[in-house]
Amino acid sequence: MPGRWKERFLTQSIRTKLFVAAIACVLLPTAITLLAYNALTQEAVKRQAMSNAQDSLQLASGSVASLFKSMLNIANYIQVNSDMNAYFKIVNAGTAAESNRYEAFMQENNILEQLESLTVIGDKSYVTVLLTNGKTFTNYSRGEYNPAGLTQEQWFGELGKLKGFQSYWVKTEPTVFSMEKLDNPYQISVVRTLRLENADIYGYIVVTVMENQVNGIFDRLTAGQEVMLIDEDGRILSHKDSSQIGTALEYPIRGTGASASTSIVKAKDGRYLVAEQPIPFNGWRLVSVQPYKQATVNISSIFSRVFVFQLASFFVFLLLLIALLRAFTKPLVRLGKVSAAVQRGSLSVRSGIRGRDEIGRLGFLFDQMLDRINGMLAEVRETQARKRKAELRMLQAQINPHFLFNVLNSIRMKAMRGGDPESAQMIGSLSKLLRMTITGEKDEISLHEEIGLVANYVELMNLRQKEEAQLRLEIAAEAFLIRVPRFFLQPVVENALIHGLCQSKGTIAVRAVVLPDGDVELTVEDDGNGMDGEKLARVNKSIRFHAAEALYREEERGRFSGIGLPNVAERMKMVFGDRFRMDVQSEPGKGTKVTMRIPRKEDDDVQRNAG
């Protein structure tokens, strides 16, 4: 019998299967949830209330710990500050009065300013440095409190037991500062010792805050809870009701050491939720007390409303589910019919399914895929036609440059036969430059080829001008094979000829050396007129902040001159990245030197190793 029902279910349509599966997946979990809900609600309410109390107390604990840590940080700063300790030792030894009085006054004033700056930001703290000879340094007026009275406190005798960076936490005691007594009746302090190299105590550091700073944290972060700070003996150190300070906590403490705990305690007037959090540094603990009913009233109300809402929404959602499943499965049927038509070879059919859900996106993407297939087929046909035309134009374009070079070579040979070697040389150099300009099959060439182009260019320029410029090359052999952009060096040499030598005689030196890290340092130096400081700064600035639009305008001119140093720097940075560096140095009457640092590329390493 079960096998028969299974067979009938498997033969049903996808719509029927979805109906049965959806109803089963909704009905069974909902029934189990409603049955187990009441059994789990009370325990969940208890755990949530305990978690809320612990979270709230943990937040307050972090703030209180931060306050105490700031007190320790002040004491740490004074204890490890070598300058302050050196001065304290001098004062305690009684040798400070023997030095210059003005200098002693300035040193003491500097110490007081440092103590004052320690409490400028953050919670207000009273800092006292008490030396064993009775000398004191404070960040408050002695009219508020005479720090010599610290030696009369009961806890003062315990300080001799401290070692190194150990601290003594003074429990809540009446405020001694006259300006604070009215608004802040209690204070909390931490004490550190200052010791000589032989471990003898020569002073004490006392950092004090008002107890109201602690219970103020309770009011801000633990609304609805009675929070207090207690010591290791269970006595209250801080409470919003100052009359309870010093009294014993009436609830038992279960947490020990660094552990936190939350418990429900029974009392005469009902049950209370008690949470505890340890405070680092001093072994004290934060305790929050709240009536259990008050802690759980909101959570219990939420659980009750959720139960009623679940029961009502189940029936509503069941009806909606049936209607939605019918609407959801209708586009699937349509999409299946369109897929069958595409399988038969009809690429013009479209599903027309649209929507923001997965089925709507699937229908839209399916139709878009068919559109792209049709477009790609048309694009392939058009690309093939354009490819045939481009191949024809490329063959035609190759004829013109070769024809031009052949004509120039013919003219050069005719000039040589006619006894005019100077014209023949000029035509030969021009032919080489034009060939390198027109034939653009290589974006990068070796430095050796680039140097040859520069030599041809200088030779051609010497034929144009009255006085010849001398080109001196000092290129390291290992630098010849590095790959560089075409015509990157020609604009630099052109600037040296036109602006440096002013198209008159002189020397242009091109040097290249390989640095220890593999980079190549290339310099172009002339002995021409040079530049003044203002113009030099303008040139270096244009190299660093060259605009891409200006580069485009210069390239549109399509000529050798006018490209300039900024465009050379821009081209080199596009090839080598930000590691490329260019710098111009010049002095009036002493010439100009352009230095370029060309980073090493992996292709250069391969060629260098192969060489």
**If you average pLDDT over every residue of the chain, what do you get?**
79
- One domain for residues 299 and 381: no
Q: Are strands 126-131 and 136-138 parallel, antiparallel or unpaired?
A: antiparallel
Whether residue 3 has pLDDT greater than 70? no
139 Cβ neighbours under 8 A, 6+ residues apart: 112, 115, 116, 118, 119, 125, 126, 127
What pLDDT, on a 0 to 100 scale, did the predictor assign at position 208? Answer: 92
What pLDDT, on a 0 to 100 scale, did the predictor assign at position 399? Answer: 43
What pLDDT, on a 0 to 100 scale, did the predictor assign at position 298? Answer: 62
In a domain, 571, yes or no: yes
- For residue 239, give the H/E element and its range: strand 236-239
Domain boundary among 301, 328, 355: 328
Query: At 558, is the pLDDT very low, low, confident or very high (cuts 50, 70, 90)?
Result: very low
Q: What's the domain count of the chain?
A: 3
Task: Give the CA angle between residues 463, 551, 397 to the nearest 5°.
Answer: 65
Whether residue 118 has pLDDT greater than 60? yes
What pLDDT, on a 0 to 100 scale, did the predictor assign at position 547? Answer: 41
- One domain for residues 517 and 418: no
* Burial class (CB within 10 angstroms; exposed 0-12, middle 13-18, buried 19+) of 552: exposed
Count of C-beta atoms within a 10 Å radius of residue 376: 11
Alpha-carbon separation of residue 237 from 224, 233, 376 (angstroms): 20, 11, 81
Q: At what angle do helices 101-117 and 82-93 cross, to 10 degrees?
A: 130
In a domain, 343, yes or no: no
What does the block give as tokens for 287?
A: 């305790």
What does the block give as tokens for 35?
A: 């049955």
Query: At 476, is the pLDDT very low, low, confident or very high (cuts 50, 70, 90)?
Result: very high
- One domain for residues 411 and 455: no
Better-predicted residue by pLDDT, 94 or 158: 158
What pLDDT, on a 0 to 100 scale, did the predictor assign at position 561? Answer: 39
The helix/strand/coil state of 594 is: strand
Task: Give the CA angle between residues 346, 347, 350 to the nearest 5°.
Answer: 100
Lowest mean pLDDT, pick from 3-17, 169-183, 339-353, 371-385: 3-17
In a domain, 365, yes or no: no
Is residue 508 a contact partner of residue 469, using CB atoms and an 8 Å limit? yes
Whether residue 454 has pLDDT greater than 60? yes
Q: Tell me the per-residue pLDDT of 458-469, one tens digit each, with 9 for 90 and over.
A: 888 887 777 888
Domain boundary among 379, 414, 441: 441
What pLDDT, on a 0 to 100 scale, did the predictor assign at position 546? Answer: 55
- Residue indicated by tokens 């009536």: 291
Better-predicted residue by pLDDT, 375 or 400: 375
- One domain for residues 278 and 413: no
Whether residue 120 has pLDDT greater than 90? no
> Listing from the earlier edge strand, what are the strands of the sheet with 592-598?
469-475, 506-514, 520-526, 592-598, 581-586
- One domain for residues 9 and 89: yes
Mean pLDDT of the 19-41 span = 72
Query: At 374, is the pLDDT very low, low, confident or very high (cuts 50, 70, 90)?
Result: confident
Whether residue 480 has pLDDT greater than 80? yes
Query: At 438, is the pLDDT very low, low, confident or very high (cuts 50, 70, 90)?
Result: low
Whether residue 475 has pLDDT greater than 90? yes
In a domain, 341, yes or no: no
**Percent of the chain whose pLDDT exceeds 90:** 14
Whether residue 447 has pLDDT greater than 70? yes
- For residue 445, give the H/E element and its range: strand 444-446
In a domain, 354, yes or no: no
What pLDDT, on a 0 to 100 scale, did the predictor assign at position 585? Answer: 94
Whether residue 604 has pLDDT greater than 60? no
Q: At what angle do helices 421-438 and 447-464 cross, to 10 degrees?
A: 140
Q: State the amino acid at position 574 in one-letter form.
A: M
Is residue 185 a contact partner of residue 202, using CB atoms and an 8 Å limit? no
The helix/strand/coil state of 287 is: strand
Better-predicted residue by pLDDT, 24 or 365: 365
52 Cβ neighbours under 8 A, 6+ residues apart: 295, 299
Whether residue 252 has pLDDT greater than 80? no
Chain center to CA of 508: 48
CATH number at residue 558: 3.30.565.10
User: φ and ψ at 593, to 5 degrees?
Assistant: -130, 125
Whether residue 6 has pLDDT greater than 70? no
Rg (CA), the chain: 45
Whether residue 602 has pLDDT greater than 70? no
Whether residue 539 has pLDDT greater than 80? yes
**Cα distance between residue 101 and residue 84, in whole Å:** 18
What does the block give as tokens for 421?
A: 């070697």
What pLDDT, on a 0 to 100 scale, did the predictor assign at position 512? Answer: 95
Whether residue 412 has pLDDT greater than 80? no
Closest CA to 442 of 452, 430, 450: 450
Mean pLDDT of the 519-530 span = 93
What pLDDT, on a 0 to 100 scale, did the predictor assign at position 278? Answer: 87
Mean pLDDT of the 207-231 span = 83
Q: Tell me the per-residue pLDDT of 31-73, one tens digit each, with 9 for 90 and over.
A: 777 677 666 676 766 777 777 777 888 888 888 888 888 888 8
**Cα distance between residue 180 and residue 413, in whole Å:** 108
- One domain for residues 282 and 260: yes
Whether residue 375 has pLDDT greater than 50? yes
In a domain, 536, yes or no: yes
CATH number at residue 109: 3.30.450.20
- One domain for residues 519 and 597: yes
Distant-in-sequence contacts of 23-31, Cβ < 8 A, 24+ apart:
23/318, 23/321, 23/322, 26/314, 26/317, 26/318, 26/321, 27/318, 30/310, 30/314
Query: At 580, is the pLDDT very low, low, confident or very high (cuts 50, 70, 90)?
Result: very high
In a domain, 130, yes or no: yes
- One domain for residues 225 and 282: yes
Q: Tell me the per-residue pLDDT of 306-345, one tens digit each, with 9 for 90 and over.
A: 767 777 777 787 778 777 777 767 777 777 788 888 878 7
Better-predicted residue by pLDDT, 179 or 300: 179
Domain boundary among 312, 328, 344: 328
For residue 547, is it left (φ>0), alpha (ψ between -120 and 50) or beta? Answer: beta
DSSP string, 188-199: EEEEEEEE-TTS
- One domain for residues 471 and 521: yes
* Burial class (CB within 10 angstroms; exposed 0-12, middle 13-18, buried 19+) of 63: middle
Query: At 607, is the pLDDT very low, low, confident or very high (cuts 50, 70, 90)?
Result: low
What pLDDT, on a 0 to 100 scale, did the predictor assign at position 472? Answer: 93
Better-predicted residue by pLDDT, 375 or 155: 155
- One domain for residues 163 and 44: yes
Q: State the amino acid at position 65 in one-letter form.
A: A
* Burial class (CB within 10 angstroms; exposed 0-12, middle 13-18, buried 19+) of 419: exposed
Lowest mean pLDDT, pick from 161-170, 311-320, 347-356, 395-404: 395-404
- For residue 511, give the H/E element and its range: strand 506-514
- One domain for residues 517 and 430: no
Whether residue 379 has pLDDT greater than 60? yes
Query: At 581, is the pLDDT very low, low, confident or very high (cuts 50, 70, 90)?
Result: very high
Mean pLDDT of the 140-145 span = 86
434 Cβ neighbours under 8 A, 6+ residues apart: 404, 405, 408
DSSP string, 373-402: HHHHHHHHHHHHHHHHHHHHHHHHHHHHHH
Q: Are strands 469-475 and 506-514 parallel, antiparallel or unpaired?
A: parallel
Parent domain of 393: 371-441
Whether residue 556 has pLDDT greater than 50? no
- One domain for residues 489 and 382: no
In a domain, 542, yes or no: yes
What pLDDT, on a 0 to 100 scale, did the predictor assign at position 288? Answer: 84
Closest CA to 225 of 460, 403, 61: 61
Query: At 560, is the pLDDT very low, low, confident or very high (cuts 50, 70, 90)?
Result: very low
